[in-house]
Amino acid sequence: MKDEVCSFLAPTADDQLLIDCTMGEGGHSEEFLKRYPSLNVIGLDADAAIQKVAEQRLAPFGDRVNFVHTWFDQYFSCYPDQDRPDRIFMDLGISVFHYEKSGRGFTFRKDEPLDMRLNPDNPLTAEIIVNEYSEEKLSNLIYAYGEERYSRRIAKAIVRVRQEAPVETAAALSDLVFNAVPGNYRHGRIHPATRTFQAIRIEVNGELNRLKDTLENAIKILKIGGRIGVITFHSLEDRIVKHYFKDLNKTCICPPEAPRCTCGDVKIVDILTRKPVIPTKAEIQENLPSRSAKFRVAEKVAEMSVREDRGGTNV
């Protein structure tokens, strides 16, 4: 959806600033920098290895792009004393680099160590989760973060197998899940281990909690008239973004039982995508992983402090 992303987040003046919260290999940033010659970009990424790839790719743009090695939630929680951004972009999809080149067990199609860390400095790994979490905790995790209906069967199978020997590779976990689910579930639209891998990856990297914290702090530092765009790839992420934007779009935060508005509240954002933008059939044919992508955009129209001064926020 590069055309849609660039269109919604196009700069409206010279020398505006875009923060690419999930720069990855630099694909989206490269597109922005090519299309808008006066735009400046700050690119964030928690993975130093993939950031090196982006640095090489974007070297021709010189000092128009700066790189910060950090998690995006940490960056916005202590935003440096510098110009506030005009545009903020988040692509929450896992990079092809991590699936194909990182060697960290993100995909069930490779026999790699169970790692799944976006930042290798993180002490928690997928192997620790699979081999040390209790059966109940595993089941709840796979159900909550993977929306996997066979989470109990999968957790029970993991615990049974690890009693004989630790589950140490992505391929071993994939085979375990495949054998744990019913036969008619093994050959569906997606591989039966997809949701389990998603759940464990989310837990390893704290993805949903990071997203919640980032949205609030990012909109706080965004300029009035600035825009924030987020691409999500599963319903848990999309739900967070959708409801957060809707909450900040409200003009009243009084309790539902209140007979009339007494808060005198104002909305913080206008929602520019009442329905999420989704990829075209042509794009899906060209890039199959994009089939689940949803893009939502909001424009800031008031400072968060206005709502906070009038009794807080529901976020």
Give the residue extent of every domain in the chain. 2-97+207-309, 102-204
pLDDT for 315: 44
pLDDT for 313: 47
Whether domain 2-97+207-309 has CATH 3.30.70.270: the reply is no
pLDDT for 262: 66
**pTM: predicted TM-score of the whole model, two decimal places:** 0.90
pLDDT tens digits along 117-155: 999 999 999 999 999 999 999 999 999 999 999 999 999
Q: Write the CATH number of the domain with boundaries 102-204.
A: 1.10.150.170
Q: Compute the C-alpha angle 138/144/148, nearest 5°.
A: 80
pLDDT for 10: 97
Count CB-CB contacts under 10 A for residue 137.
13
pLDDT for 162: 96
Flag residues of the chain having pLDDT under 70.
81, 262-264, 306-315
Q: Which contacts qualify for 111-117: CB closer than 8 Å, 24 or more apart?
A: 111/169, 111/170, 111/171, 112/169, 112/170, 112/171, 113/168, 113/169, 113/170, 114/167, 114/168, 114/169, 114/170, 114/172, 114/173, 116/197, 116/200, 116/201, 116/204, 116/205, 117/204, 117/205
| Coil vs helix vs strand at 269 | strand
pLDDT for 314: 46
pLDDT for 283: 83
CA dihedral 50, 54, 59, 60 (to 10 degrees): 160
